[in-house]
Amino acid sequence: MKKFINKVENVENEMIQGLIKAHSDKIRKLECGNVLVRNNKKEGKVAIITGGGSGHEPSFGGYVGTGMLDAAVAGAIYTSPAADIIYEGIKAVSADKGVLMIPMNDTGDIMNFEMAAEMADMDGISTAMVVTNDDVAVDNSLYTVGRRGVAGTVLVHKIAGAMAETGASLEEVKAVAQKAIDNVRTMGVAINPSTIPSAGKPGFELADNEMEVGIGIHGEPGVYRDTLKSADEIADVLLDKILSDIDYSNSEVAVMVNGSGGTPLMELYLINNHVYDALTEKGIKIYKTLVGNYMTSIEQEGFSVTLLKLDEQLKTLLDAPADTIAYKA
């Protein structure tokens, strides 16, 4: 294992501390644990909270700020945060309009968010929850009943956060977040795995000419292994699966070409060159494109493609101002 770290047991805390030290103008950490909250807490709006294991940076601390998240709760790498820490996060951000929880679909995360909501309920805090599940690679997985939540989650947070800033009610913000979830799909691939520091070895091994297709974001293998193809052919495999899932014809979409952490930006842009052409050829209109490391798996070399089908409301919310560390609009 070759990493820039100190002691493996300190990786998450040192990372969170380094994030706070870089951006103390925007975010702070609760003393009780790795809960990142925005400095400018705002009344008169629904608070948006998410969380999950670490290892997906800049998800989710990088998206705490105006127009996106009010809090992100960080567990250990690829591990759910505890319910009582999530509860502290809910209490910290709760204002007069309630709290919308938007975790990714993961059995541990969902259970802990639900427990935290029950605790908050006893304090009289109104919560609601929607769960992202954009990964079309699998119907169920080792860690989920139903699809996994992956990179499309970032777009759901952007849209829900923008709606919350308008002063909309908890029901209204929940509804638009669910609309985004219903219209977003992702699929990913990897050519090199990630290594959890405390594990000391990669989650899987691949030969020099192999790739894992339909990969999740927790270092686990994909749906199947194949020989490495050209970037265009790989992008087509992902797009075919996404496009067969919901009807994107004659739609406007947001496209995200997301890197897994170790993939150079050069390759992500090269992939977007083909994704753009392939979608355009099918008559799908690209309204906005995001290319970069939005939802990572530590140093995994891989990428995912996300399509979000847009209507006028979603376009407006996607374009609305956001001032976070890793997402500015």
Based on CB atoms, which residue is closest to its own copies, 77 or 164?
Answer: 77
String of contacts with its own copies for each residue 212-251, x by CB under 8 A = ----------------x-xxx-x-----------------
* Of the residues 112, 144, 183, 296, which one makes contact with its own copies according to CB under 8 A: 296
Q: How far is the CB of 267 from its own copies (least distance, A)?
A: 4
**267 forms part of the interface with its own copies (CB under 8 A):** yes
Applying CB under 8 A, which of residues 95, 129, 170, 270 lies at the interface with its own copies? 270
**Complex with its own copies: residue 101 or 271, whichever CB lies closer:** 271
274 an active-site residue? Answer: no
Considering only 51, 53, 58, 152, the residue that binds its own copies (CB under 8 A) is 58
Q: What is the 3-state secondary structure (H, E, C) of the chain?
A: CCCCCCCHHHHHHHHHHHHHHHCCCCEEECCCCCEEEECCCCCCCCEEEEEEEECCCCCCHHHECECCECEEEEEEECCCCCHHHHHHHHHHHCCCCCEEECCECCHHHHHHHHHHHHHHHHCCCCEEECCECCECCCCCECCECCCCCCCHHHHHHHHHHHHHHCCCCHHHHHHHHHHHHHCEEEEEEEEECCECCCCCCECCCCCCCEEEECCCCCCCCCCEEEECCCHHHHHHHHHHHHHCCCCCCCCEEEEEEEECECCCHHHHHHHHHHHHHHHHHCCCEEEEEEEECCCCCCCEEEEEEEEEEECHHHHHHHHCCCECCCCEC
Stretch that binds its own copies, among 85-93, 166-174, 243-251, 285-293 (CB under 8 A): 285-293
Give the residue, chosen from 94, 112, 133, 293, that forms a contact with its own copies under the rule CB under 8 A.
293
Q: Which stretch binds its own copies (CB under 8 A): 9-17, 40-48, 135-143, 156-164?
A: 9-17
The kind and range of the H/E element at 285 are strand 285-292
Q: Is the Cβ of residue 50 or residue 192 nearer to its own copies in the bound state?
A: 192
Query: Pick from 6, 39, 244, 313: which binds its own copies (CB under 8 A)?
Result: 6
Task: Tell me which residues in 175-214 interact with its own copies (CB under 8 A).
Answer: 191-192, 208
What percent of the chain is helix, strand and coil (3-state, nearest 5)?
35, 25, 40
Q: Which is nearer to its own copies, 57 or 109 (CB)?
A: 57
Single out the residue of 36, 49, 73, 298 in contact with its own copies (rule: CB under 8 A). 298
157 is catalytic: no
Q: Please tell me which residue in 23, 157, 218, 274 is annotated as part of the active site.
A: 218
DSSP code of residue 148: P
Tokens 């309009």, located at residue? 97
Task: Select 84 or 287, whichever has its Cβ closest to its own copies.
Answer: 287
The catalytic site residues sit at 56, 218
List residues binding its own copies (CB under 8 A): 2-6, 11, 14-19, 21-23, 54-55, 57-58, 62, 191-192, 208, 228, 230-232, 234, 257, 261-274, 276-277, 286, 289-291, 293, 296, 298-299, 301, 303, 328
